[in-house]
Amino acid sequence: MRPPSSLMKSTTVPDKAPLPVDPGPPETYLDLYGLSKPPFSGTPEQGRYTLFGTHRRALELVSEHVATGSGMILLQGEQGVGKTATLRSVAAAAAEAGVRTIVVSTPPNGRISLMQLLSALGGRPSAEEATADGLITQFLAPPRKALLADDLDLMPADCVRLLLTLAQRTPNDRGAPAIVLSTSADLMLMRDPKRPELGELVSLASNTVRLSRLDPTEIRQYIERSFWIAGGTTRRLITPDAMKVIIAQTNGVPGTTNRLMEAVLTAGFARGDPMITEKTVAAAMGPTAPRSRYRASQPSDMAGQLIQIAGIGLLVLGASAFLYRGLSEQAGLGVSASRKLLSSALSQAPPVGTISKERPPVAATVPEQPPAAKPAGALPPELVAALMKRGDQAFGFGDVAAARLLYQRAAESGDGPAATALGRTYDPMFAAPGGKPDPARASEWYQKAIMLGDPHAADLLMRLGGPQHVAPD
């Protein structure tokens, strides 16, 4: 008897479905908040530019000059307000319109060399001046071109002299090349006698276009759009109260917004906050107070006391002069009576820095020095470690401003290595990319690091040539 055919077939047991792999704890704030990339990296990307109403007129003027103008204009605005993004947007629009644009951007180390500038003008130059003259002639020759150079105030003298020669030889005729130079420095400060070529170049500008700060509504839109591009939403990630505090601290500068938001996201990751709150903001930036137009509280430092004393003195002198003038104009009032009334008015005025007869003069005029400021509040070790890690990454990427903000928050909480790292960003020996060396600031932070117990700061301070301090026992 033959077995049923169904029994002759071999069957395979299906494999078990693989168990879901546990992703583990988030490694960065990108994992914690579900973002595809850092939303506030500070590096302008294609499609990241947003035209706000505050910048619309400036963009129109620069675009019109690049498209149909000739000669040189300046784009002026404080650092981080959006000059680089504006120039890149203008260059992209001009290229689409068929205008050949040459964009000269500041390299990561914050300094452009003469060779780099000459290369940008269209060649592989050597050091001979004839090569520079040839490139200038090539730039002035048809077809029409436009040169957009960023950060004029950071350029070395030889680059400024080349741009000066280029501007002097560029005619103002229709169809001549257009030049746009951006700067963060005040135009009056650029007329430095030590750099006559810079002042002479600025004087050749036919117009100055100023880029202003954004208003609070535009800053909110900037934050929301940055999160949207990175795959997140502010409604899910930031509470309304925290958003108000952040907007108030940015001062309307997109560059400042990038640094603050990077610090806030890092603090949220270190704290494990699923949503950015006011406590997260305070952990990143320290306690924040409402910004007021006038300072009503009494100043506690010596500078505030001097300002208060000077203000009271001016009020007293103003009231006395007014009283003296009014009394002297009265016909029936003698000089002696006027002096008596003036003396009486002064005697009734609040005492301004008077010396009491019951106290020694030194005790009255030299106030007791206030105690040394305490750290802004100890942070959890994991938050300090996260701030240091993000600071090291930002410093490695050339974003010195963000690195300093992160290091300073950790240093203010009493961390010595953070103070040392902050001092390195100002130390000329480390050639901080994107930052200007400042030996005095470096020495100041090294000394603070020594007082906070970091032994490495003493060697750095010695190499810098600053005053030596012994760490406390």
Q: What is the CATH number of the domain that holds 432?
A: 1.25.40.10
Domain presence at residue 122: yes
Is the preceding peptide bond at 370 cis, omega within 30 degrees of 0?
Answer: no
Domain boundary among 181, 210, 239: 210
Measured CA distances, 74 to 167, 205, 229 (Å) = 12, 6, 31
Q: Answer with the one of 210, 226, 250 that is the final residue of a domain.
A: 210
In a domain, 47, yes or no: no
CB neighbours of residue 98 within 10 Å: 9
Q: Using the 3D structure, point to which of 191, 210, 229 is the last residue of a domain.
A: 210
Amino acid found at 14: P
User: Which stretches within 124-273 are classed as H helix?
Assistant: 129-140, 157-169, 196-203, 216-229, 234-237, 240-250, 254-271
314 lies in some domain: no
Domain-located, residue 182 = yes
Q: Is residue 162 part of a domain?
A: yes
Question: What pLDDT is recorded for position 107?
Answer: 77
Domain that holds residue 440: 381-464
* The total number of structural domains that make up the chain: 2
Helical residues (DSSP H) of 97-145, grouped into ranges? 114-120, 129-140
| Amino acid found at 205 | A
45 within a domain of the structure (yes/no):
no
Question: DSSP assignment, residue 179?
Answer: E
Query: Which residues, 6 or more positions from 399, have their beta carbon under 8 angstroms from its beta carbon?
Result: 41, 42, 259, 434
Helix axes 254-271, 216-229, angle to 10 degrees: 60
Task: Please check whether residue 300 lies inside any domain of the structure.
Answer: no
pLDDT at 108: 66
Query: Per-residue confidence of the chain (473 residues) as pLDDT tens digits?
Result: 565 555 555 556 566 666 665 556 788 899 999 999 999 976 555 556 788 999 999 999 999 999 999 999 999 999 899 999 999 999 999 988 889 999 998 876 667 888 888 888 875 544 444 477 888 888 888 899 999 999 998 889 999 999 999 999 998 888 899 999 999 888 776 677 778 888 899 999 999 999 999 999 999 999 999 999 999 888 899 999 999 999 999 999 999 999 899 999 999 998 889 999 999 998 887 665 444 333 333 334 444 444 444 443 444 344 444 333 443 444 333 434 433 433 443 344 444 333 333 444 333 333 333 333 444 456 778 788 888 888 888 787 777 877 888 888 888 888 999 999 999 888 888 766 556 788 888 889 989 999 888 888 888 888 887 554 444 44
Please enumerate in sequence order all residues whose Cβ is within 8 A of that of 323, keeping only pairs 6 or more positions apart, or say none.
341, 342, 345
**Per the domain annotation, does 84 fall within a domain?**
yes
Are 17 and 234 in contact, with CB atoms under 8 Å apart?
A: no
Q: What is the CATH number of the domain that holds 197?
A: 3.40.50.300
Task: Write out the DSSP string of 353-369.
Answer: SPPPTTS-HHHHHSPPP
